[in-house]
């Protein structure tokens, strides 16, 4: 499976979800390649901050030709996870074209959801060439013990063709703390709830990727 965490809106959790889902897939025994398609190199920074033994391979490939190279680059891996760039449209377009599944991290505010317009448009363009492309929103930074508000549901309804994952991630300092040390949440103490959110997301992603019909 090739999954891209993509959204040109900055700071929505592309890197956080990429490294933790990649780690989850690796812990399940798969050979995993994490591609940093962001010129800022955040996933590379994550890998560089790491003192523990590597969990997975990380490669920096912020290139608009990623979709042409992905077959060769991803050869021999069970899963490829692409951490997408903010802003740069040609890189994001190439990452969409490279992916089997695009997950769009978004924060649970209508403004953040509406700011996903650009990536939704890129998906619409890509689907002409890739009928099987699957895509969905993933809510990140939910405030603990709150339900998704009505305004958020209304904003999501602006994209009737884009499903929303059941699983979501809560706002938790431990995501930032683990990232600063180049670790996934599985590897830090006291992250039981963060781990169960990442595991639920990864389970849902694996099921979603198997669906025959585009959702």
Ligand X SMILES: Nc1ncnc2c1ncn2[C@@H]1O[C@H](COP(=O)(O)OP(=O)(O)OP(=O)(O)O)[C@@H](O)[C@H]1O
Contact set with Mg ion (CB under 5 A): 14-15, 42
To ligand X, the closest distance from the beta carbon of 129 in angstroms equals 25
DSSP state of 80: E
Comparing C-alpha atoms, which of 198, 75, 92, 186 is closest to residue 135? 92
Comparing C-alpha atoms, which of 81, 40, 34 is closest to residue 58? 34
Comparing C-alpha atoms, which of 83, 69, 81 is closest to residue 13? 83
Q: Which is nearer to Mg ion, 28 or 171 (CB)?
A: 171
Q: Which does 74 bind (CB under 5 to 8 A by kind): Mg ion, ligand X, none?
A: none
Q: Which does 171 bind (CB under 5 to 8 A by kind): ligand X, Mg ion, none?
A: ligand X
Q: Which is nearer to ligand X, 43 or 98 (CB)?
A: 43
Q: Which does 106 bind (CB under 5 to 8 A by kind): Mg ion, ligand X, none?
A: none
Where does this chain bind ligand X (CB under 6 A)? 10-16, 38, 42, 86, 140-141, 169, 171-172, 175-176, 179
To ligand X, the closest distance from the beta carbon of 132 in angstroms equals 25
Q: Which does 46 bind (CB under 5 to 8 A by kind): Mg ion, ligand X, none?
A: none
Is residue 137 helix, strand or coil?
strand
Q: Which is nearer to ligand X, 86 or 182 (CB)?
A: 86
Integer-rounded Cα Rg, in Å, for the chain is: 16
To ligand X, the closest distance from the beta carbon of 106 in angstroms equals 10
Do 52 and 77 touch, CB atoms closer than 8 A?
A: no
Q: Which is nearer to ligand X, 140 or 213 (CB)?
A: 140
Give φ, ψ of 136 to 5 degrees: -165, 160
To ligand X, the closest distance from the beta carbon of 179 in angstroms equals 5
* Long-range contacts of residues 66-71, Cβ cutoff 8 Å, at least 24 apart: 66/35, 66/37, 66/91, 66/94, 66/95, 66/97, 66/98, 67/94, 67/95, 67/96, 67/97, 67/98, 70/2, 70/98
To ligand X, the closest distance from the beta carbon of 36 in angstroms equals 10
Sign, CA dihedral 65-69-71-73, equals: negative
Q: Which is nearer to Mg ion, 74 or 86 (CB)?
A: 86
Q: Which does 57 bind (CB under 5 to 8 A by kind): Mg ion, ligand X, none?
A: none
């Amino acid at each position: 499976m090739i999954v891209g965490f993509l959204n040109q809106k900055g700071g929505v959790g592309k890197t956080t979800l990429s490294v933790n889902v990649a780690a989850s897939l690796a812990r399940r025994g798969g050979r995993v390649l994490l591609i940093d398609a962001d010129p800022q190199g955040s996933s590379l920074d994550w890998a560089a901050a790491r003192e523990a033994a590597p969990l997975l391979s990380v490669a920096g490939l912020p290139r608009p030709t990623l979709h042409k190279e992905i077959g060769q680059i991803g050869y021999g891996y069970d899963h490829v996870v692409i951490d997408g760039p903010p802003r740069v449209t040609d890189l994001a377009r190439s990452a969409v074209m490279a992916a089997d599944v695009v997950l769009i991290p978004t924060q649970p505010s209508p403004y953040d959801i509406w700011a996903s317009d650009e990536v939704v448009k890129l998906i619409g363009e890509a689907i002409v060439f890739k009928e099987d492309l699957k895509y969905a929103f993933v809510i990140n930074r939910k405030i603990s013990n709150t339900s998704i508000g009505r305004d958020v549901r209304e904003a999501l309804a602006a994209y009737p063709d884009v499903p929303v994952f059941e699983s979501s991630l809560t706002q938790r300092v431990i995501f930032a703390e683990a990232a600063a040390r180049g670790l996934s949440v599985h590897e830090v103490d006291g992250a039981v709830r963060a781990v169960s959110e990442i595991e639920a997301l990864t389970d849902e992603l694996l099921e979603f990727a198997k669906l025959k019909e585009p959702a």
